[in-house]
Amino acid sequence: MPKEPEKNKRPEQAKPNPPPRRHPAGQAPPSAPRTGGAPKPAPKGVPQKPPPQKRPAARPPAQGSNASPSPSGKPTRSVSSPTRETPKPSSPDKTRNRKTTLALATLFLVVVTGAAMFLDYIPNPFRAKVDYGLGEQAFMRGDFKTAMAHFMVLAKRGNPEAMWYVANMYQNGRGVERDVSTAVEWFKKAAQEKQPWALFEIGWYYKNGTGGFKRSAPVALKWFEESGKGGYVMGQYHAALAYMEGIGTDKDINKGREWLILAADQGHLDSQAILGDMYYHGTSVVIDDKKAHTYLKPAAERGHPLAQMNLAMMYENGDVVKKDIVQAYQWYSLAAARGNKDAQRSLEFITPRIKTSKKQKADAWVASWKPIS
């Protein structure tokens, strides 16, 4: 509750100003701050003190900005929106030094790599001897670790055949852990050098859609033909099959036969058997018993059932060779034992025509027969 004003109380009177202070004669009074008017000039010979500069008032933050006033009244910048300093352009000297350093580093790597390759070729009594022939011998006898030790060094030196061996061992896990991706890389490197075996392997990947390759019969055929042109018998044989069966291309028996002849002349067993069958029965060619016998006899002696069955027919009918029913029985028996259905039916027909004594000798010959390697 507000207090009521006291009655009969005199209001306080303002105190009068004190009288001006007197100063001794001859002394000037001390200068007092003036509230208005022009400033009093300083005495002569005394340097004039510059007036103090006032700090400009802080501008209010712009609308929509992240700046906010601090407790002291000064605007502060938000942490969330830092200022970006304009990068200073590098001087020409710094750019030149950087390029020089990069060039020297590149030159150093080239020199070191070249020196390592050069030293690899210098005979070193403390390093194991690396030889392609020794590696091949180790591979053939199943010593794949030794073979890898030889072929890996040779492959890194750029030997295409050694690259193929390295790839083959990685692909099949021989002497190393199986790694198809590494095998593919080595096959590709060898194929870039037109190595026929490697060209065939790339074609095989395309044919089957393995090794990370997309299945493509036309592309596979191109690789097989490149391999065959390089003299590899497997490339020639698979190119022949593609043309004869129309896989990845139009069917062309004559072109397939040309590839078969190239492979058969190198002793490829299946090519010899197929060619002999074509010439004997006149499949897309004129019948030629002599050519047929040329291809069928070596293939039959090496154990091919189709060649054995056709050779037996030659002996049964006396085509090119002297007619011999016992010889026919023997070759029919060998082919039948390897699953040839035609030979099995022929045996049922020919067996009653052979005397028991001759049949026993023929059976003994069949039991002791071994293919020519």
Is residue 352 within 8 A of residue 359, CB to CB? The reply is: no
Write down the pLDDT at residue 71.
Answer: 47
Contacts of 179 (CB under 8 A, 6+ apart): 170
DSSP single-letter state for residue 352: G
> What DSSP string runs through 305-371?
HHHHHHHHHHHHHTSSSPP-HHHHHHHHHHHHHTT-HHHHHHHHHHGGGS-HHHHHHHHHHHHH---
How long, in residues, is the chain? 373
Write down the pLDDT at residue 84.
Answer: 54
Residue 136 burial class via C-beta count within 10 angstroms: exposed 0-12, middle 13-18, buried 19 and up: middle
Write down the pLDDT at residue 13.
Answer: 45
From residue 132, alpha-carbon distances to 129, 153, 359 in Å are 10, 10, 52
How many Cα atoms sit within 13 Å of 184 on the Cβ side?
13
Residue 60 placed within a domain: no
Residue 170 placed within a domain: yes
Looking at the DSSP bridge assignments, the partners of residue 69 are 75
Tell me the one-letter amino acid at 350. Answer: I
CA dihedral sign of residues 172, 177, 178, 184: negative
Helix (H/G/I), strand (E/B), else coil: 358: helix
Write down the pLDDT at residue 153.
Answer: 96
Write down the pLDDT at residue 88.
Answer: 56
Range of the domain at 131: 114-190
> How many whole angstroms separate alpha carbon 238 and alpha carbon 245?
10
The token duo for 61 is 């933050």
Residue 228 burial class via C-beta count within 10 angstroms: exposed 0-12, middle 13-18, buried 19 and up: buried
Residue 39 placed within a domain: no
Write down the pLDDT at residue 47.
Answer: 54
How many helices and strands in the chain, by DSSP H and E? 15, 2
Residue 222 placed within a domain: no
Q: In tens digits, what is the pLDDT along the chain, a chain of 373 residues?
A: 444 444 444 444 444 455 455 545 555 455 444 444 455 555 555 555 555 555 555 555 555 444 444 445 454 444 444 555 555 555 666 677 777 788 788 888 777 666 555 555 454 444 457 899 999 999 999 999 999 999 999 999 999 999 999 999 999 999 999 999 999 999 999 999 999 999 999 999 999 999 999 999 999 999 999 999 999 999 999 999 999 999 999 999 999 999 999 999 999 999 999 999 999 999 999 999 999 999 999 999 999 999 999 999 999 999 999 999 999 999 999 999 999 999 999 999 999 999 999 999 999 999 999 999 8
Write down the pLDDT at residue 54.
Answer: 55
pTM of the model: 0.66
> How many whole angstroms separate alpha carbon 136 and alpha carbon 148?
10
Residue 91 placed within a domain: no
Write down the pLDDT at residue 96.
Answer: 73
Residue 90 burial class via C-beta count within 10 angstroms: exposed 0-12, middle 13-18, buried 19 and up: exposed
Residue 351 placed within a domain: no
Residue 248 placed within a domain: no
From residue 104, alpha-carbon distances to 90, 101, 116 in Å are 21, 5, 18
Contacts of 167 (CB under 8 A, 6+ apart): 182, 183, 184, 185, 186, 187, 190, 198, 201
Contacts of 185 (CB under 8 A, 6+ apart): 167
The token duo for 121 is 């070729």
Tell me the one-letter amino acid at 310. Answer: N
The token duo for 257 is 């036969």
> What DSSP string runs through 142-179?
T-HHHHHHHHHHHHHTT-HHHHHHHHHHHHHTSSS---
Write down the pLDDT at residue 21.
Answer: 52
Residue 365 placed within a domain: no
> What is the domain count for the chain?
1
